[in-house]
Structure 1
Amino acid sequence: MSAPHRHPTWSPGSARPRRIARVGARLLVTAVAALAVLFFSPTAAQADDCSVQEWHENWRQCVDALPDEPETSCKTPPVPASPDSGMAGWFAQEPQSPPDGYELSPQAKGAYSHYGYAGYDMPLYDLGCVGNVVPDSESAGNSLANLEFTLATGIIGASNGLRHAAWEPGGLWGWADTFVKNATEAIYEQVFTVFGALTVALVGLYLIWRSRQADMSMAVTTAGWAVLVLVVVTAVARWPVESANFADEGLTASLSVVQDAVGPPTQEGCEDAYGMTEAEQRAAWDGGACLDLRSPATRASDMATGEILYNNWIRSVLGQSEEVVYETDADGDVLTDDQGRPVVADGNTAYKYGPALYDATAFTWAEIQDARASPSDRQMLVEQKQNQWRKVAAAIEREDPEAYQNLTGANGWDRAGTGLLAILSALFFALFDLTTSILIILGFLLIRWAVIALPLIGTIAILRPASGGFKRLVSAVVAAVINVIVFGVAAAVYLYAVSQILAADLPGWLQVLLIALIGVAAWMLLRPYRRLGSLRGGSSIAEAAFGRRRSAAGPNDRSTASERPEKYRVETGKEEPVPVRSESREPLTAQSRGDASDNAAAGLPPRPAPATPPAGKAKAGYAIYRPSGSGSGASAGDRPMVTVRRPD
């Protein structure tokens, strides 16, 4: 018979040691995990060690320290774009690169000189698998924002491209050297050499014919003019390209002096290296100097692209503009580091993560060259950029959920509103900037056409009475030179003013308004210099550009005396026939002149009565006129005061 099974009897004291053991085991596991994270995960520790200023200026090391994020089908990062992609890519031009083995300092890079026009579109991220497929109101807002930023980027691209062509004419007119040379030589050989001899013969015959008057000064002037035209035409036709390039170099040197003085400045703490030879650049780099290789036109493009495109893009993507707080001393002055840059105390999400986030959507000029040289390298670069986007987006999600919501594209219509502000900013900025660039380019073009046309016009201008065309050509060239200098100075000053407005602590709408008003004021002040073909200004756009005049007569009308109404006639240096007013006047009598006794009482001699000439005979004499501007109609104008006629 087997013994009965006995159940263990529960005792309160027996369970307590086991509970304590389980709690101790959990604590031990937690401590081990914490130690493992602390000692065996240096990535997170290094990422937290990056300051706000390091994230903004040297973010690559900080991004590398972030943990990798898993790839998911519903979180697709944007594909990075090329610097010359899109509509604005038509105007993109890669800036000067440093010598081999050297890199630009981080502070000597701008938005355009580093990235071109890449990445200015509205990405959608982490909206869910359905949100990327089914169109909704937010997707429509994002699509509209994409269109607005495409137009704004195209406007800024056109403005930057024309500015490069205007401020650096060597790259624009290189193709024209052969054209100017061949055209000028052909006209000189086929027209001036053949018909110029006939014109010189006509000058000789003219001098022989006028020799009857024995006017030596006229003969010397005519002969001297013919010699002057011959020398000028021959010299220009002998060196046509050199003549055009000489004018280019003189004007470019003048523009460079002005742009360096009042144009967009170099990066603070860096030396202006534009124009240095490669050996000078290497020596400066080896000496530890910070060099800024950007030309004045490139610096202006960096300013426009960064302040107008990038700032509006980061506001659209993250819903906030960059905000930064600098460290100050006891007196309230901003502290600076060894390189003269202000020390950052704190910054918002856009300031901290904006540069790293934008870099994930755009290739640099150097990266796109490597990508185009090797398709495998391109795919590797794309994967690196997309991984960088995931890391930075995860960091934004942890620190600023509101900014992350804007990053996903959930607030599409807010992006559309910021895109509208970007279009207005780009349009108001480009109106005056485009105009000045076009006028400068027209000035350089007019000089080249003048070189080509000079042998043709000089063929006839050898004869001094027919020299009007030659004088107009010289006047047009001088006007073109003045326009290039004046509008070059105006463009540099305008860009400097815009940079100061955009750097000021002003609301966005007020910055846009001030940019527009400054452009209008500059255009009004430069009104006298808009006449392209002569040294005179114009009172309207049509008159300035095409030389049109008003059809209606006015006080400033320069029409002839016979065509001008009498009340608008003004005195000039030329003698004009005085209009004769036919008025029926009664002959002066004693009653009309006053009684002789009245004259005697007043102490005045009696007035002589005018002699009446016989019929058919006119008496010679003269009249003294008194000027008068009062009255109107027949009573206006000069009135005769005393008339004296010679007696028989």
Structure 2
Amino acid sequence: MNDEPSFGEHGDQSLQSAYGTTPQVWNYDNGCTPGAGIMPSVGAALTNISFDISGALSGWTQALLESVIAPDWAEPLDEPVAEATTAVANGTWTPWLVLVMTVVAVVVLFRSREGHLSGAITATAWALLVLLAVSWVVSYPTESVEAVDGTVRSAVVQIGDGFSEQESSGDTEEERALSSVDQQIGLVVETVQYQTWLKTVFGSADSEVAEKYGPATFIATHFTWDEWETYNEDPDGAGAEMLERKADSFKAIAEAVKDEDPAAYKYFTGSQWGSRLSAGAISVLVMFVVCAFLLVAGLTVLAAFAVIRLLVPFTPALGVVFLLDVARERAIDVFRRVGGVLVMGPAYFVASLVLLRFYGALLTADMPFLLRFAFVLALSVIAWRLLKPASSLTRMRVPGLAQVRRYARARQSGGSEPATAEPQPSTGETAAMPSTSYRPVFTGGSSEPVAAPELMPGTFVDRPEPEIVVVRKRDPDALEAPSGPGAHRRTVLAVSERRGPELTAPARAARIVADGQREAEPTANAPRRRIDRLQPEPRRVNESNLILDDQGNRVFVVYEPAGAGH
């Protein structure tokens, strides 16, 4: 039989190493107690589910971190990687290499002939670099994987060994690193899972009966891995005897708890099912906060190993394209993204081990539970904000992913424009004028733009910054109305020589149009510019457009909305 697990000062074996990460609760001797209906059974079942979830989180975390330190799972992939690399090279690299190198030579000669010596040297050096790298990968695919893979693995193992304790078991760096992770995860399991289990069984993890009978009760109600194997091999012989010993020990503990602490005995029997449910839910929350960053960080490191094995078979096909100098930026972009995952993987592993140390110290500190949980949550949030491990998993560009993201943002904002549409300037925002061929004036209800006529020859009113204002000719004293029927009802857009705050208007763009031409009002998305920016050089205007306001200042008409005179 195994040694007792380390419940604080008991034994030298960690809890999850001996018993796993999912403790269980039970109902006992509550047949005639108040509220002894179905609810104690429901409470015990839901509490056990909570322990299963929190135990799975810690178990997955430990498995991921150990897989990072000892990636034995990747060794069976080496042979398929070599075979795939050879097949891709025979289909792309070998038949196309001569043609692509000829194109490279033509590019170099053309640049040299044009006197672009630096471009010719760059194209030559880049082609030689790609040729050397791809040739090495094609000739030694397995060694290429091991070269990069071994670098990441060595860094991870040395980091884990640096965090190991002096008493960590193991003769090699890898064994000591695995022992270090086991110790840290074991500390988290004991401080979260086991302490929560004590609350569900005795009502408090710090009571006298919990400290006195807690380890013995746990041993009497749970199997070690070796005990479970013994029971499965001989359930009627050695397994039955082991169950009988555990049952006798449990009954003796139950009687002792009943005599020494009747209040704790109510929890022991399962009558306080509500407290069990709340304790189980809290354990899930705490374990999620502790393990969330560790899980994503471990996945990131594993992704680094997977990326290496996926990139090597594609290298011959990519090399055919990347030999050309025009594809250099794309090649560098791919290398930067893949290299970012390889570099950040060990960095996330360091952060994981640091957080494990902090979590273990905080969860065992002598302070209120809420304060400990607040510190653990704060550390997790800081790690997420600083390192952002999830972004490394999505940093590789996937075709169509950008359109999906734009569509999701459009749905969240309630917009109806398609995800592939170009962003439009908002209302009131000054849009850039593309060129003089852009026509913001629409006439006759047609969607086609109509060109505005040129200014008629005349005297140009030379003002450094003419102000554009809208005035109505309903008041004959405000503006001398031109002759013609309905002129007093027309709304005109005019430019005045007089400057002042009273002449500042919201309209920023106006097209010079012929008198009496019908056109629609500019839309909200129409570009808005000052009239002096629409014309690159000053032009002469007809003096017949000039009128005087009530103070004798000269004003000339530049815009007349359609239908204003009707």
CA contact 2:341–2:392 (8 Å) conserved in 1: no
2:81 to 180, 188, 199: 180
Q: Is the aligned partner of 1:419 residue 2:280?
A: yes
- The residue type equivalent to 2:182 in the other structure is T
Provide, for residues 276-306 of structure 1, a one-character-per-residue CA deviation record: whole Å limited to 9, x for no partner: 399xx9xxxxxxxxxx885333223212321
Which of 187, 190, 200 is the aligned partner of 1:303? 187
Partner SS for 1:388: helix
Whether 2:58 is the aligned partner of 1:156: answer yes
Q: 1:314 to 1:470 in 2, by over 3 A?
A: same
Aligned equivalent of 1:320? 204
Q: Which string of whole-angstrom CA distances, capped at 9 and with x for unpartnered residues, describes residues 132-179 of structure 1?
A: 9984333333233233223332333333333333x3251332332222
Q: Secondary structure at the match of 2:75?
A: coil
CA distance in structure 2 between the aligned counterparts of 1:260 and 1:139, rounded to whole angstroms:
46
8 Å CA contact 1:457, 1:469 repeated in 2: no
Q: Which stretch has the larger CA shift, 241-250 or 452-461?
A: 241-250
The amino acid of 1:414's aligned partner reads: S
Q: Is contact 2:127-2:325 (8 Å) kept? A: yes
* Separation in 2, partners of 1:579, 1:450: 49
Distance in structure 2 (CA, Å) of the matches to 1:258 and 1:568: 55
Partner in structure 2 of residue 463 of structure 1: 324
How far is 1:232 from its partner?
A: 0.5
AA matched with 1:312:
T
1:138 maps to 40
Q: In 2, are the aligned partners of 1:478 and 1:535 still within 8 Å (CA)?
A: no
The one-letter code matched in structure 1 to 2:71 is G
Secondary structure at 2:71's aligned position in 1?
helix
Contact 2:168 2:180 in 1 (8 A): no
**Which amino acid letter does the alignment assign opposite residue 189 of structure 2?**
T
The equivalent residue for 1:147 is: 49
Give identity over the alignment, percent: 24
| 8 Å Cα contact 2:289-2:376 kept in structure 1 | yes
Q: Secondary structure at the match of 1:530?
A: helix
Alignment match, 1:3: none
Partner SS state of residue 26, structure 2: coil
TM-score by length of 2: 0.65
Amino acid aligned to 1:156: S
Q: Which residue of 2 aligns with 1:330?
A: none
Look up the match of 1:272: 168
In structure 1, what is the Cα distance between the partners aligned to 2:345 and 2:218?
38
Is 1:354 the counterpart of 2:214 in the alignment? yes
Q: Partner letter of residue 159 of structure 1?
A: T
Kept after mapping to 2: 8 A contact 1:122/1:142: yes
CA contact (8 A) 1:115 1:362 kept: yes
Q: 1:124 to 1:529 in 2, by over 3 A?
A: closer
In structure 2, distance between residues paired with 1:180 and 1:592: 72
1:124 maps onto 2:8 in alignment:
no
The AA in structure 1 aligned to 2:215 is: P
Ranked by relative contact order (alpha carbons within 8 Å, sequence separation 6 or more), the top structure is 1
CA drift of 1:315 comes to: 1.2
Q: What is the aligned partner in structure 2 of residue 452 from structure 1?
A: 313
DSSP 3-state at the match of 2:221:
coil
Structure 2: state its 5+ residue gaps: 1-5, 412-421, 440-453, 466-505, 510-527, 538-566
Change (3 A) 1:236 1:322: farther
Match among 481, 506, 511 for residue 367 of structure 2:
506
Tell me how far apart the structure 2 counterparts of residues 144 and 563 of structure 1 sit (CA, whole Å). 50
Conserved 8 A contact 1:483-1:530: no
Cα 1:210–1:525 shift into 2, 3 Å: closer
Measure how far apart 1:321 and its partner are. Answer: 0.7
Q: Which of 384, 392, 395 is the equivalent residue of 2:245? A: 384
Alpha-carbon offset, residue 188 of structure 1: 1.8
Q: 1:170 to 1:351 in 2, by over 3 A?
A: same
Displacement, 1:318? 1.2
Q: Which moved more, 1:403-412 or 1:156-165?
A: 156-165
Contact preservation (8 Å) 1:55, 1:352: no
| Equivalent position of 2:386 in the other structure | 525
* 2:350 partner amino acid: V
Once residues 482 and 247 of structure 1 are traced to their aligned partners in structure 2, the CA distance between those partners, rounded to angstroms, is: 11
Deviation for aligned residue 1:586: 8.7
Counterpart of 1:479 in structure 2 is 340
Which is higher, the Rg of structure 1 or of structure 2? 1
User: Residue 461 of structure 1 aligns to which amino acid in structure 2?
Assistant: F
For structure 1, the 5+ residue unaligned runs are: 1-53, 59-105, 282-291, 324-347, 537-541, 553-561, 571-575, 594-630
Residues 349, 396 of structure 1: 8 Å contact kept: yes
Q: Which residue of 2 aligns with 1:246?
A: 147
- Contact kept, 8 Å, 1:56 with 1:355, in 2: the verdict is no
Q: Secondary structure at the match of 2:47?
A: helix
Q: Displacement, 1:397?
A: 3.5
CA distance in 1 between counterparts of 2:459 and 2:206 reads 89
Letter in 1 for 2:95: V
Q: Which residue of 1 aligns with 2:293?
A: 432
Alignment size in residue pairs: 438
Maintained 8 Å contact 1:447/1:480:
no
What amino acid is the match of 1:366? D
Question: Contact between 2:201 and 2:268, CA under 8 Å: does it hold in 1?
Answer: yes
1:365 aligns with 2:225: yes
- 1:374 deviates by 4.5
- Structure 1 partner of 2:130: 229
> What secondary structure sits across from 1:113 in the alignment?
helix
Which letter maps to 2:58? I
Contact 1:479 1:532 in 2 (8 A): no
Structure 1 pair 431–547 and aligned structure 2 pair: CA distance change class (3 A):
farther
TM-fit CA distance, 1:548: 10
Looking at structure 2, the residues matched to 157 and 481 of structure 1 have their Cα atoms a distance apart, in angstroms, of 25
Counterpart position of 2:544: none
**The residue matched to 2:118 in structure 1 has which SS?**
helix
Q: Find the counterpart in structure 2 of residue 340 from structure 1.
A: none
1:115 aligns with 2:19: yes
Give 1:30-45 correspondences, 5 Å limit: none
Q: What CA distance in whole angstroms lies between the structure 2 residues aligned with 1:577 and 1:528?
A: 42
**How far does the alpha carbon of each residue in 1:207-241 deviate from its partner, in whole angstroms, 9 at most, with x for none?**
34444325443333222222211111121233323
Q: 1:134 to 1:407 in 2, by over 3 A?
A: closer
Distance 1:445 1:432, change over 3 A: same
* Alpha-carbon separation, structure 1, partners of 2:222 and 2:213: 15
Shift in Å at residue 253 of structure 1?
3.1
2:263 aligns with: 402
